[in-house]
Amino acid sequence: MAKPERPEVLAYIALGANLGDAQASVRAAMQRVAALPQTRLVASSSLYRTAPFEATGPDFINAVVAVSTRLNAPELLLNLQRLESGAGRERPYRNAPRTLDLDILFFGDASIASPALQVPHPRLWQRAFVLVPLAEIAPTRVNPAQLAAVATQSIERILLA
């Protein structure tokens, strides 16, 4: 008897980079996330330029994507970490500049607290570089008070030429 398929779960993933060609890295990562097994892209935000927040180095390029996936949360995390490694991600110290950073913000309505993964992402409400692109593709996930709380953080939407 065939094993039943897992139901699809809507997950939101933050993407960021501030080393190398960060715009190209984030755009390529969006495509790679969409190509993960049992996963399809539902929505992607614009790209945003932000000053480092609790980090160092050049400005970041950030975005958020929504995917529908049959992967469970640990499997999705493992696949995202493989994409980071493939993009040359190193972790010499906390909040170091990075070639690619991929974070699961939400995994359906799940609440996950493990040593490897916390969902919802524990610091997403403190970061304009997450909330602004998330609000663009999922306005019901972010309320005006949450956006107002990060309004002093510098963030600029990148317009396509």
Q: Which residues on adjacent β-strands are paired with residue 67?
A: 11, 41
Torsional sign, CA 130, 132, 134, 139: positive
Active site residue 94: no
- Give me the catalytic one of 21, 70, 82, 103: 103
Residue 157 annotated among the catalytic residues of the structure: no
Task: Report the C-alpha gap between 93 and 82 in whole angstroms.
Answer: 19
* Catalytic residue (one of 49, 89, 91, 109): 89
Catalytic hit among 40, 70, 94, 101? 101
Active site residue 103: yes
Choosing from 98, 123, 127, 157, the catalytic residue is 98
d(CA 142, CA 107): 15
DSSP 51: -
Catalytic residue list contains 109: no
Residues assigned a catalytic role = 89, 98, 101, 103
